Amino acid sequence: MNSFIPATSIDGQAPPERSTGDEIIRLVDVRRRFGTTPALDGISLTARRGEIVGIIGRSGAGKSTLIRCLNGLERADSGEIHIEGRDIARLSEKELQPLRRRIGMVFQHFNLLSAKTVEENIALPLKIEGVAKAERLQRARELLELVGLSDKAKAYPSALSGGQKQRVGIARALAARPALLLSDEATSALDPETTRSILALLKDINRKLGLTILLITHEMEVVRSIADRVAVIDAGRIVEEGSVWSVFANPQASITASLLGGIRPQLPEHIAARLSQTSGAEAILSVDLAGPAAQGALFAELSATLPRSFRLVHGGIDHIQNQPVARFFIAVPTRDATLPARVGDFLKARSARVEVLGYDN
């Protein structure tokens, strides 16, 4: 598998203009405006070698604009865009060409050439570079093996499923041995099972090749399953950033909480709808825990310390990046008016985040 390890410097190019350690991407205050719309409104972000960074945001947040600025298809109005230590914002179109080869692109709709076979599609970036035919077909075969499609070399894209087409798209993106893979909604056109297999493939490639991947998506599940870090983008700004498990455990921005809505336990709708904000027989509390705190026998301890002080309503424990992330909803009787506060204090003393959502009868 050695042949897949990307070179660590730009082939045949002058060394990077400054030492950046292991930073593959460094964006500093990048801005891009379309008319009055600030598509990118001061983005600063880094990605280190071997990292998978998820960029998540709603439609129109600026994700594709960010990708286009990164691969030089679009010019930023201002800011610095360093790829392997070189600021591409300062390069001419001609100087950009070799740098573009350091970046592989994977697209939502695959963008394969229908008149070319699978192996020709994969070898195309090498053909453009002037690599000899025998060598580029050899490379295509290696890549087909890597993406699990060795038997499809001579097939045409029309004979492939969506998932197979995306495997070809990924193989093509890797042909020129990039240092960075940019994926713009690579799984958005695929069903959930195929999505999982493509994400597993990206993770596998990331491990085997030490490849840095920037994963653009509007789906938290994509970030959850393979990213190391996540940046949440909204209206052209990064509103939240951190390791995936910590952002999932404790989202700070309301947009993050709303993007997490589908994959994080929520208070069941029929209960939420009838909650009173003033009084009721039970207080409904949300309890969020992460890391070591989520591993303890918290509710058993609570029962032992304050007998019959709560009942479980909903929730569960997830594991993200091997860290437990728990979210529960509990009901605490209010016949003793001090009980909800005592339960809350007990849980908070054990690192839980506790919120009273309302009262139920």
Ligand X SMILES: Nc1ncnc2c1ncn2[C@@H]1O[C@H](COP(=O)(O)OP(=O)(O)OP(=O)(O)O)[C@@H](O)[C@H]1O
d(CA 223, CA 228): 8
**3-class secondary structure, 125:** helix
Q: Which is nearer to ligand X, 38 or 280 (CB)?
A: 38
In the complex, the residues that contact ligand X under the rule CB under 6 A are: 34, 37, 39, 57, 59-65, 218
Residue 152 interaction partner, one of ligand X, Mg ion, none, beta carbon < 5-8 Å per kind: none
Beta strands in 35-110 (DSSP E): 37-48, 52-56, 78-83, 86-87, 103-107
Q: Which stretch binds Mg ion (CB under 5 A): 26-34, 45-53, 57-65, 299-307?
A: 57-65
Q: Which is nearer to ligand X, 19 or 59 (CB)?
A: 59
Please state the closest distance from residue 59 (CB atom) to ligand X, in A: 3
Q: Which is nearer to Mg ion, 66 or 81 (CB)?
A: 66
Q: Which is nearer to ligand X, 9 or 37 (CB)?
A: 37
Q: Which is nearer to ligand X, 36 or 361 (CB)?
A: 36
Q: What is the CA radius of gyration of the chain?
A: 24
- Quick one: which of 28, 48, 50, 64 contacts Mg ion (CB under 5 A)? 64
Please state the closest distance from residue 352 (CB atom) to ligand X, in A: 34
Give CA separation, 92 vs 66, 83, 97, in Å.
19, 15, 9
Residue 24 interaction partner, one of Mg ion, ligand X, none, beta carbon < 5-8 Å per kind: none
State the chain's maximal CA–CA distance in angstroms.
Answer: 81
The DSSP symbol for 268 reads: -
d(CA 56, CA 48): 18
Residue 6 interaction partner, one of Mg ion, ligand X, none, beta carbon < 5-8 Å per kind: none
Helices (H), 210-285: 220-226, 244-249, 254-260, 269-274
Residue whose beta carbon is closest to Mg ion: 64
Binding residues (CB under 5 A) for Mg ion: these are 63-64
